[in-house]
Structure formats: structure tokens, C-alpha cells
Amino acid sequence: MNENIMDVAPADLVSGDRVAGRLYTDPAIFELEMTRIFERTWVWVAHESEIAKPGSFKSTRVGRQPVIVTRDRRNAIHTLLNRCRHRGASLCEKPQGQANGFTCPYHAWSYSLDGKLRGIPYPDGYEGVADKRDLSLKKLRTESYGGMVFATFGENIEPLEDFLGDVRLWIDRFMKQGGGYPIKVLGKHRFRFKGNWKIQLENTTDGYHFPIVHRSWMASVDAETADMMSFMTDPEAITHDLGHGHSVMQMVPEHSDLDDDDGSEPLQARFAGLVDELSKTLDAAQVRKVVRAMHGTGFNLNLFPNVSMSIAFFRVLRPIAVDETEIEHIALGPDGPPELDPVNRERLRIHEHFQGPFGFGTPDDAEGWDRVQRGAQGAPEMPIMVNRGLAREKASPEGWPTSHVTDETGMRAAYQQWKRMMSDD
Ligand code: FES
Ligand SMILES: [Fe+2]
């Protein structure tokens, strides 16, 4: 890094194992990220269970652009720009719901669930000057994998499955925590922190902070649970770089594939009451499957740029400004018969205990993220280090660059992708 840090091209601010602090503080870099990254790659927009029925919709954003994700009458999923073709009003301000279509509140132009312009009030003024067929809502390419829905403004980028690549195996594994049932969204909450979005991207693949920042959480749970999460000195606990900026951090490797169960691991004592309740209606093998999956899959799968599938929940980030980010934590559980209700109640309690606003985990994380942003205002030329474990990184049998779970392999993967996308005009 040279002395005139503000003259260095953004892509050159990332070397293999360090990035300049300016990456968190420069509004011009943030603007460039919105177009070069968030408008050119696949961005997570929904889980299919959030738009389960024909007519279901969800409003969200791709980068900073507002969109509506819809399911039409034929079950096809669309991502529509939330912007009326008349004079640009937003069509929908509800976070989610059911609709037959969208009518703009300003002059009542109305659109169908797939974005076609259906009606214009007092249409005689438009005779000879506008054709409804040319005035559909702007539509983004939308593709799903394993129930995860992604959208992109990038007309010519690779199909979603190619972008995900080796991540698909891990999505398949993540979805096994339904214990034989599909996964559904149980609830979500949002908060903002005063820091750059990449601070969050790094955190989800940062095993190093866990016993330090989450000491109070470790002290608040039973010994068996605390022991399960004491992966710092476990050589089996590893992080893989999966390509395209994605990575997976395995904190509890024996729970990476929940179908891998030789029956020798006892169910955790804290779930004894739940086991009794479920045993009234389910057979022993079913009970074992759903209870063993109670705390999720034992890994954090970090997908560049905006979603992670973390143990038992989704963490979605939305960049607001160079120094402000919104986070959504989405609790998940099996989508099964009413006999599974006690499972989902308990899963929500576990979620609240760590992720909730009064939980023991996330508020401690948020303090760390705020501090990174405040500290990085000082000496924007000084590097942020992401070099932990570089010398002990090796290829896994699958060929994935791999290091210990406390190493910064996942961050290096994300910054390599960042650099690639930011150097591409
Ligand atoms: S801005 Fe939407 S109908 Fe006029
Ligand atoms: Fe954390």
C-alpha cells in the first residue's frame, strides 16, 4: 500500500492476505460496489417458503434497488423492480403478503403477479402514444436452488447453479436439518449496525472471535452445548474456500451431514422433555432425527455477497451506506405435521437465545462490528489483516483450499471475489 491511499484503484486495495481500511470508509468505493457487485451477481432474495402459495409476495432489495419477489398463478417465481412504469412510484411497501397483483397508489396503473401492465385508468389519453405491452415492470433474472431464490440484474452472467458450484452440496446438507421434512421460515428480525457490509461478510466466516466475543453465551448454556461449540483446538474443525467468494466453516464437523448417524451419539439431555413430548406421536427413529437436528448443521456456509446459512438460520445482509448495514436473521424449522410444533417452538427459543435482540450472541457481535468501523476511520491506508492460517492452508481431497476453522480462509475467498468483480469495468 503506498502513501496516497486515496489514489490507489479500488481493486488494488486488496492483496492476498490484507485489505486497506479504506474499503470500509470510502463512499466512492461503496457506490462502485453497488453497481459492480450487487448489480452484477446473484443476490439472495427469498426462501421459497416465504412465498409459498400462488399470489404470495415479499418485498426486498437487490443492492439498493427495491424489488418484489412474487409467485404467480402457475407457481413461477418472479423478481420485479418495485417501481411503477408511469412516474416511478414504489408499488408495494408491505414486507410480505398475498395479492392478485399490484396497483400503483399514485394513478392506479395495475400490474399482474408476473409484472405485466394490466390496466391504465382513463386510457384514452394514451391512445397512439403508449402500448401496454411495452410497459411491463422491469424483471430480474430469477433462479432457485434447494429452496433458495436468487435474482440478478446481470443479463449475461452464468446460470445460478454454475455460480454456486460446490456450494450446492452444502446447501443440500443444510436443508437436512428439517429431519426428513422441508425447511420453512419460522420468523425473522432485523437490525442495523453502523458499519460497512463487508464487516458482516467477514464475521460469518470468523471462527477466531467465537470464544472471545461469545463468552457470555458460552456461560449461559449447559456444559454439553458449550462443549460442542469449543472447536478452537479441534483439528477436525476446518474452513474450505469453495470458489466464487463462497466458503464453509465447520465448527461441529460431526454434524456436517446429519444423515451420517451411526446411533452412537446420545441426544442432548436438554432436549429430554421434547423427546418425551414427541415420542407420544412419532416413532423413535423420527424423534432422533428431528431432535439431533435441533441446533442446526454445525457449519456456517457463507455465500458471496449477501447471505449465509449459519448453523440453523439465515443471515442476510443489505448494504445501506458505506457505514451502515441492515441484517436480517431468519429462524428456520421443519415444515411438517402439527406433531412437529414443539420442535419449532423450541427452535425459536434457541434462535432468540443467541440471535434475538435480547440474546447472548448477536448484541456482542454488533459491538465488535461498530468498533471495526470506528477504528478503521483511523489511518485508512493501514491494512486489515486476513492472513491468519495462510501458511497452513492446504487443498482438501476435493481440491478446496482448506485451513483450520479459526483461520481467515473464508475472508480471503470473499476478498478475492471482491477484487475480481471490482477490477471488471
Ligand atoms: S406513478 Fe404509478 S400510476 Fe402514476
Ligand atoms: Fe459472532
Q: Give nearest CA residue, ligand 1 atom 4.
A: 107
The predicted structure's pLDDT at residue 423: 94
Distance separating alpha carbons of residues 15 and 386, to the nearest angstrom: 10
Residues 6+ apart with CB under 8 A from 75: 54
Set of cell numbers at residue 258: 446429519
Name the average pLDDT for the chain.
95
* pLDDT tens per residue, range 348-405: 999 999 998 888 999 999 999 999 999 999 988 899 999 999 999 999 999 999 999 9
Name the residue with cell 394513478: 107
Whether the CB of 106 sits within 6 Å of ligand 1: yes
Q: Which of 330, 306, 298, 301 is nearest to 201 (CA)?
A: 306
**pLDDT confidence of 3, banded at 50, 70, 90?**
low
Distance separating alpha carbons of residues 24 and 20, to the nearest angstrom: 8
Q: Give nearest CA residue, ligand 1 atom 3.
A: 107
Of 68, 109, 117, best ligand 1 pocket probe by most atoms within 8 Å of the beta carbon: 109
**pLDDT confidence of 16, banded at 50, 70, 90?**
confident
The predicted structure's pLDDT at residue 162: 98
**DSSP helix/strand/coil, 69:** strand
Residues 6+ apart with CB under 8 A from 339: 278, 281, 282
Q: Are 300 and 310 in contact (CB under 8 A)?
A: yes
The predicted structure's pLDDT at residue 383: 93
CB atoms within 10 A of CB 277: 17
Q: What is the mean pLDDT of residues 322-344?
A: 97
Whether the CB of 107 sits within 6 Å of ligand 1: yes
CB atoms within 10 A of CB 182: 13
Q: What is the mean pLDDT of residues 33-47?
A: 98
Whether the pLDDT of residue 41 is over 60: the answer is yes
* Torsion angle in degrees (nearest 10) through CA of 345, 351, 357, 361: 150
Set of cell numbers at residue 407: 483461520
Distance separating alpha carbons of residues 115 and 132, to the nearest angstrom: 12
Q: Which of 3-7, 311-315, 346-350 has the lowest mean pLDDT?
A: 3-7
Residues 6+ apart with CB under 8 A from 337: none
Whether the CB of 104 sits within 6 Å of ligand 1: yes
* pLDDT tens per residue, range 127-168: 999 999 999 999 999 999 999 999 999 999 999 999 999 999
Cα–ligand 1 centroid distance for 91 (angstroms): 8
SS3 content of the chain, % helix, strand, coil (to 5): 35, 25, 40
Distance separating alpha carbons of residues 194 and 197, to the nearest angstrom: 9
Residues 6+ apart with CB under 8 A from 84: 90, 91, 104, 106, 109
Helices 284-292 and 272-279 pack at an angle, to 10 degrees, of 140
**pLDDT confidence of 1, banded at 50, 70, 90?**
very low
Residues 6+ apart with CB under 8 A from 405: 207, 231, 232, 234, 237, 238, 239, 249, 250, 251
Q: Give nearest CA residue, ligand 1 atom 1.
A: 87
Q: Which ligand 1 atom is nearest residue 85's CA?
A: 2
The predicted structure's pLDDT at residue 6: 86
Q: What is the mean pLDDT of residues 6-30?
A: 94
Residues 6+ apart with CB under 8 A from 312: 177, 295, 296, 297, 331, 332, 347, 350, 351
Distance separating alpha carbons of residues 35 and 12, to the nearest angstrom: 18
CB atoms within 10 A of CB 300: 26
Of 81, 85, 86, best ligand 1 pocket probe by most atoms within 8 Å of the beta carbon: 86
CB atoms within 10 A of CB 281: 13
Q: Which of 419, 279, 395 is nearest to 342 (CA)?
A: 279
Whether the CB of 87 sits within 6 Å of ligand 1: yes
Q: What is the mean pLDDT of residues 40-51?
A: 98
